[in-house]
Structure 1
Amino acid sequence: MAETEQQSGSTPEDEAPEVAAGATFMVPKKEISMVPDMGKWKRSQAYADYMGFVLTLNEGVKGKKLTCEYKVSETIEKLLDLLATLDRWINETPPVDQPSRFGNKAYRTWYSKLDQEAEALVSAVLPAERCAAAPEIAVYLKESVGNPTRIDYGTGHEAAFAAFLCCLCKVGALRVDDQLAIVFQVFNRYLSVMRKLQRTYRMEPAGSQGVWGLDDFQFLPFIWGSSQFVDHPTLEPRHFIDERVVNEQHQDYMFLECIKFINEMKTGPFAEHSNQLWNISAVPSWSKVNQGLIKMYKAEVGLHPALAEELLAALMKS
């Protein structure tokens, strides 16, 4: 773990599936309707499982490049096929002409394909003996790509995709030796599809805090990306605002890929449009950056109802 406080929950470290052979599954539903319900979320097994999953992967990628060697299992390949399908649907669903610059309504057509096909896509990833879990897990997949009403995307949707991957670990579809591939292959591919969605349909940031937030759309790649840099012999936090460094090394480091996307999407001085990241560049070490981002994320997941609602219904029934 990246810090002394550890979550007791299901992670990819579990060699055996937690879910019993005769387990029943349920379609997640909204559980948070008022402020006091947030305490229920923080005390839930789902919260422990989710944060344990995030922190285990954070430890697993520490000091490793995106281009390092790792096992790619059959399930990982199936997940990459799933994401390739979502990508192909974007190509097949071009933006429509409309008066509004943002929130292109063609996104709703794209989303309707996923809404109709999600259970089948998830079933294709699951082992045959776990296909009964598909309706439950598919909800997290559908929640992970943005909101079709508002045509927006944010960290709550990103968290739903992490919950989707966590569910696959809990049913045994993903295993301990899939850790690097989960982050470097699957999650990284997910990011590229989400960025394509954002560009193609001009999606609005969901719940953006503007200059006070870390990023308009993502959070987890900054956590895992900072872990990649821990104990790096030459690159320090101050280097990620150097455009030359970003352009030369973004293919090896998730954090720099995020910075590259921000540089492409925003104009003006970096210190103005991404003030929180600018402040982070002054932190003396990547380990401190990583620990600080984890604390920020725990606060956001623990206090933001939109994130918690997507995760509170048990990640899996055991």
Structure 2
Amino acid sequence: MADTEPQSGSSTEDDAANAPATFSFVVPKKEISMVPDMGKWRRSQAYADYMGFILTLNEGVKRKKLTCEYKVSETVEKLLDLLGTLDRWIDETPPVDQPSRFGNKAYRTWYSKLDQEAEALVATVLPESSAPAAQEIAVYLKEAVGNATRIDYGTGHEAAFAAFLCCLCKVGALRVDDQMAMVFRVFNRYLEVMRKLQKTYRMEPAGSQGVWGLDDFQFLPFIWGSAQLVDHPTLEPRHFIEDKVVNEHYPDYMFLECIKFINEMKTGPFAEHSNQLWNISAVPNWAKVNQGLIRMYKAECLEKFPVIQHFKFGSLLSVQPVKP
């Protein structure tokens, strides 16, 4: 679906038809090892495809409620089953008693299951013609759930899940008409599983900027969530800091769902524990919030070496420069 963007040079339908012939699948690996390598990332086909994908989904969910009607394909159902498996494994892997409050080591047991099963799980989602892609795409799924050494999670892991979905589009497993289901069903379910992981194993935020970051763990649901609210007849950015508004409307809007989770997890005045979001509440309309968050995402996530040094490149998301 990134390929519907002009910069990436082909359509999703083309990818679907040509996937096995077009790509020589490889196990993705890191390519950004020093700060000067960041230019290579910004010029890469992967960056163009990834940003194109994020912006395509942003357009796809504008002015739409989570509860609206949309197509749910067989692939989307299979992805929901996959995420349901990850959720079930959390129930089967309770936290262990340990002296430190954060970073429960039972997470590593949970992660080891995914490490072993990721390729098989991804294979269940792929069409037969794209079966050889499982090994490559599974790497992004494993990267999307946090780090087993540090027992932390952050926007780089979230980006890996978006990259996972982008790869599924490139091999034709997901199609253009899956856009809304990708955000409203699949990504939303992914958020539920990640929140459960964060709470169950007391995961640390990866590279948190404290109160100066947008959120300890996520960024994309704020972008897509603000797109949903563009031109809303009654809800303005200033309203999302009101508990009554959040509690009434969170089932319809991803942005408010995120605010609800923050309110449950943090104590004290909102302006203190979530200063950046507090500042956003002063922006006059949701279109400006959406545009500002996209700029902020590029600057604070995609332009930051500590985040991008962990990004992995393969045949589907290539480190090669964008073709002119």
TM-score (norm: length of structure 2): 0.93
- CA deviation string 1:13-38 (max 9, x = no partner): 73332654323101111111111100
Paired residues for 1:1-318 under 5 Å? 8-9=7-8, 14-17=12-15, 19-22=18-21, 23-314=23-314, 316=316
Following the alignment from structure 2 to structure 1, what is the Cα–Cα distance between the partners of residues 317 and 103? 36
Residue 63 of structure 1 aligns with an amino acid whose one-letter code is R
Deviation of 1:155 after TM superposition, in Å, equals 0.3
Deviation of 1:97 after TM superposition, in Å, equals 0.4
Deviation of 1:9 after TM superposition, in Å, equals 2.6
Deviation of 1:312 after TM superposition, in Å, equals 5.0
Gaps of 5+ in 2: 319-324
- CA deviation string 1:131-188 (max 9, x = no partner): 1011110000000000000000000000000000000000000000000000000000
Deviation of 1:10 after TM superposition, in Å, equals 7.3
Partner residue in 1 for 2:322: none
Q: Percent identity over the alignment? A: 79
Deviation of 1:306 after TM superposition, in Å, equals 4.0
TM-score (norm: length of structure 1): 0.95
Deviation of 1:303 after TM superposition, in Å, equals 1.9
Following the alignment from structure 2 to structure 1, what is the Cα–Cα distance between the partners of residues 228 and 237? 12
Deviation of 1:7 after TM superposition, in Å, equals 6.5
Q: Verify the 8 A CA contact 2:61 2:227 in the aligned structure 1.
A: yes
Following the alignment from structure 1 to structure 2, what is the Cα–Cα distance between the partners of residues 201 and 35? 32
- CA deviation string 1:206-254 (max 9, x = no partner): 0000011000000000000000000000000000000001011101000
Change beyond 3 A, Cα 1:200–1:170:
same
Q: Verify the 8 A CA contact 1:70 1:180 in the aligned structure 2.
A: yes
CA-based RMSD: 1.5
Following the alignment from structure 1 to structure 2, what is the Cα–Cα distance between the partners of residues 230 and 214? 19
Deviation of 1:311 after TM superposition, in Å, equals 3.6
Provide runs of 4+ in structure 1 moved above 6 Å: none
Change beyond 3 A, Cα 1:310–1:316:
farther
Following the alignment from structure 1 to structure 2, what is the Cα–Cα distance between the partners of residues 154 and 315? 25
Q: Verify the 8 A CA contact 1:95 1:104 in the aligned structure 2.
A: yes
Partner residue in 1 for 2:321: none
* SS of corresponding position for 1:136: helix
Number of aligned positions between the proteins? 312
